[in-house]
Amino acid sequence: MLIKNLCIPKINLTTVPETATLKEAIDLLEESGYRCVPILDKDGKKFLGNIYKMHIYRHAAEGGSLNEPVTSLLKNATKYISVNASFFEVFFTIKELPYIAVLNDSGDFYGILTHGKMLGLLQDAWNIETTSYVLTVASGEVKGALTKLTKIVDRYTSIASLITLDNQSDDFIRRVMVSLPNGVTESLKNEIVEHLNRKGLRVVEVERLKH
């Protein structure tokens, strides 16, 4: 996964030095319009954490002084990834954060990877622009079920993308979303659906992406 191609580099970011006060941080946040920004060390190299607008206002509302150092409300100190991180590491680290800090090979702050960039990556993986229909297929936890599914679809057309979903429920049902490429007509899609259902691979939903 090429993190460097997806993240916003430090030179294009608004950051706060660890020497700043909460007053200086909130002024910068209000001016930039961001809800949080990275805090860097005094040399501007090391990522220390994030400062959030809401935490500063909450602090002030509770009678706290805005002359305190910005590091007094530092959050997400351990929330960062390497430029060489894998997709799964990024996906499970970013979770509810607006962005995740990215460090270079030397451990210095390189930039941030935003939620928007991650969603864009997933959208690209779906091949939405080249997809006609998406079939959601429910199959039991049976050995060879995925192989059977792909073989059936391959008899009619290629597969634009495929992803399996498992919500860890007790029904032992795995849901597979199969994207069919542009050029697949409704009649061909119906043939594929009928064949899958006939072989015990139940198509529970069909979504048409191209109209």
* Residue 130 pLDDT: 81
Assess whether 137 and 88 both reside in one domain.
no
The CA distance from 61 to 198, in Å, is: 64
Looking at the domain assignment, is residue 196 inside a domain? yes
Domain membership of residue 95 (yes or no) is yes
Range of the domain at 194: 126-206
The pLDDT of residue 158: 94
Q: Does 140 lie in the same domain as 112?
A: no
Which of these three, 86, 119, 152, is where a domain ends?
Answer: 119
Same domain? 70 vs 155: no
* Same domain flag for 71 and 5: yes
Listed residues 83, 100, 119: the one ending a domain: 119
Q: How many domains does the chain have?
A: 2
Assess whether 130 and 183 both reside in one domain. Answer: yes
pLDDT tens for the chain, 211 residues long, are 578 888 999 999 999 999 999 999 999 999 999 999 999 999 999 999 999 999 999 999 999 999 999 999 999 999 999 998 887 788 778 877 889 999 999 999 999 999 888 877 777 766 777 889 999 998 776 778 889 999 999 999 999 888 887 655 555 677 888 999 999 999 999 999 999 999 989 999 999 986 5
Final residue belonging to a domain, choices 119, 134, 169: 119
pLDDT at 164: 82
**pLDDT for 171:** 55
Distance CA 183, CA 137 (A): 21
Cα–Cα distance measured from residue 66 to residue 15, given in angstroms and rounded to the nearest whole number: 18
Residues 125, 126, 127, 128, CA torsion sign:
negative
> Looking at the whole model, is its pTM more than 0.85?
no
| pLDDT recorded at residue 59 | 97
CATH code (residue 162): 3.30.70.260
The answer to whether residue 211 is domain-embedded is no
